[in-house]
Amino acid sequence: MKRMSLLLALLAATTAAQAQSGTLQVRVDGAVQRPSVFQVPTGTRLAEVLLAAMPTEAAYPTGAALLRPSALEAQTRLKAGVLHDLQALQSAVDVQPATAAAAARLEAELAAMPVTGRVRNELAARVVEVRPETNLVLQPGDHVLYPTRPTQVRVTGAVAAPCTLPHAPLRDAVEYLHDCPAAAADGDLLFAVQPDGTVQTLGIAAWNRSPHQALAPGATLYVPLPERDLRRAGTPDLNRELADFLATQPIAPLPAHAPDTSNTDPAP
């Protein structure tokens, strides 16, 4: 956590310096023709750099990610809170042993996930261009990552082990659980994290069954821990907060190195 605090302080200083200079840097990479760190005037909008980067035909805008340094602090707190609650669940006296074991597996899984700063927003370049509510003013350090279209769905949470399953068009989200056995799971709910970062809470019991819900390629299903055990442990919001953190994870790996920075002007 100390290392993350230092990183946030460094990002804040960089942001302030760019604001004073009247320019800012925005990175676009992945399935684009011109991966680059663009240097643009303050006040430039998202569509301008998306069109300049030119997503390829192989790009999957539904799973594209906008990563913002301004969102890192809140997501760092969210991750810390989720990890704290998972630890509390493991030590609570009235919790089933199977629930505590599932919480331990989830703690290890989440601890390895990065804090990304991902925020939800439309990222199909031409759509952003014509929809003012999605054509955001860029912030220093913004990073857009375009993946290619995946062919799988991931299932995690209160399962025997996380599963990666073939995506089947129109298959109901609940049906994926047939191929990924649950372990100490809540019997009433399921969380669907769509590749655009939308989190859907689905009823799966006879009394609260949700309408058919298909998943987009690259979605993640979070099988929640038993709500009754969460209440006993004093962590009633854990399932929703964990699903919200999973929604911050891009479906494509973050690049290890910065792309070519020769393109400094996003104008076509």
Place of tokens 């439309």: 122
Is residue 266 in a domain? no
Please tell me the distance from the alpha carbon of residue 139 to that of residue 117, in angstroms, as a whole number: 12
Residue 214 inside a domain? The answer is: yes
Instruction: Please give the residue range of the domain that contains residue 199.
Output: 2-246
How many domains does the chain fold into? Answer: 1
Residue 43 lies in a domain: yes
Average pLDDT over residues 21-43: 95
Asked if residue 26 belongs to a domain, the reply is yes
Cα separation of 237 and 143, whole Å? Answer: 30
User: Residue 21 has what pLDDT?
Assistant: 59
Q: Is the pLDDT of residue 13 over 50?
A: no
Question: In this structure, is residue 259 part of a structural domain?
Answer: no
Cα dihedral 210/251/111/221 (nearest 10): 20
Residue pair 110/86 in contact by the 8 Å Cβ criterion: yes
Instruction: Quote the crossing angle between the two packed helices 238-246 and 72-91, to the nearest 10°.
Output: 140
Mean per-residue pLDDT, 190-202: 98
Q: What is the pLDDT of residue 252?
A: 83
Where residue 253 falls among pLDDT bands split at 50, 70, 90?
Answer: confident
**What is the distance between the alpha carbons of residues 25 and 6, in angstroms, rounded to a whole number?**
20
**pLDDT over 70 at 12, yes or no:** no
Q: Among residues 195, 178, 184, 182, which one has the least CA distance to residue 249?
A: 195
212 and 260 Cβ atoms separated by less than 8 Å: no
Best CA proximity match to 70, nearest among 134, 6, 138: 138
Segment 238-254 shows an average pLDDT of 95
The confidence score (pLDDT) of residue 193 equals 98
Terminal Cα distance for the chain, rounded = 41
Contacts (Cβ under 8 Å, ≥6 apart) of 60: 31, 146, 147, 148, 149, 150, 195, 217, 218
- Strand, coil or helix: what is 129? helix
Are 222 and 246 spatial neighbours (Cβ–Cβ below 8 Å)?
A: yes
Distance (Å, rounded) from C-alpha 163 to C-alpha 65? Answer: 23
Average pLDDT value over all residues in the chain:
91
Please provide the size of the chain in residues: 268
In a domain, 254, yes or no: no
Please give the backbone phi and psi of residue 222, each rounded to the nearest 5 degrees, phi first: -105, 115
Please, which residues bridge with residue 166 across strands?
152
Residue 164, in any domain of the structure: yes
Q: Are the C-beta atoms of 122 and 128 separated by less than 8 Å?
A: yes
What's residue 9's pLDDT?
47
Helix (H) and strand (E) counts in the chain = 7, 10
In a domain, 226, yes or no: yes
The alpha-helical segments, DSSP class H, found in 92-155 are 97-111, 125-130
Predicted pLDDT at 236: 98
pLDDT in tens, 122-146: 999 999 999 999 999 999 999 999 9
